[in-house]
Amino acid sequence: MKNKGLKNISVLAMLIFIAVFMPVSKGVAAEVLGPQVAIETISNKLKLKLQDEAFIHDFNQVNAFVDEAMRPHVDFKRISALVLGKLWRKATQEERSQFTKEFKTLLVRSYSRAFIGFKGWTVRFLPLKIKQGAKKIIVKTEILQSGLQPLSINYRMFNARGVWKMYDILIEGVSLVTNYRTSVKNEYRKSGSIRGVIEKLEKRNFVALANNDN
């Protein structure tokens, strides 16, 4: 998957949304285990909301709901640190906080837009074995739609004090973190500073939210 910069990141985000916010089918998994519960919880909440026509036509409500649904199950700070890579160590505490805030807004906004247009997909969990004491795990799923080949979506998750949280997604083997990191590096080269990267995100989020679009 070629990187076309921050302008086209929402396309990848929509695919990620398809993986996370779906009606869930247990499929071949004998039972839904700890890390899978996080994904299933979000899926079930959003599945109910899809039935409310008034809700899905109010983007601000959708955005707020998606934010609330994702927050307990996604480690935005960890994702932000991985996306910035070496730049995270160069960034000040204020820059880290600002980047995490704007990056979270970008993700939630993109998921929200995809949520409005979503219909007809299901998630199938593949068998999952967790070693005793494991802190990290990959949850493997397939996205199913009638007439199409299954789409492989895998989640990298870690155990944060007993709560499984997502910090990366692989779509057909392509990493969310890697794609965003490349985009951020490109923007950093153009602007010459982390502040410039943040300002780019701030501007994009402001314009998109003002227009209720992604």
Structure tokens at 115: 């949520």
Residue 122 lies in a domain: yes
Q: How many domains is the chain built from?
A: 1
How confident is the model at residue 92, as a pLDDT? Answer: 97
Sequential pLDDT tens for the chain (214 residues): 444 433 333 333 444 444 454 444 444 443 445 667 666 666 667 667 777 878 878 888 888 887 887 787 789 999 999 999 999 999 999 999 999 999 999 888 877 776 665 566 677 888 888 888 888 989 888 877 778 888 888 889 888 888 888 898 888 888 889 989 999 999 999 999 999 999 999 999 888 877 765 5
Identify which of 209, 201, 203 has the alpha carbon closest to the alpha carbon of residue 95. 201
180 token code pair: 């965003």
Q: Which residues pair with 125 in a beta bridge?
A: 141
Domain of 204, CATH number, reads: 3.10.450.710
Domain containing 193 equals 6-210
Whether 1 is covered by a domain: the verdict is no
Q: Is residue 181 part of a domain?
A: yes
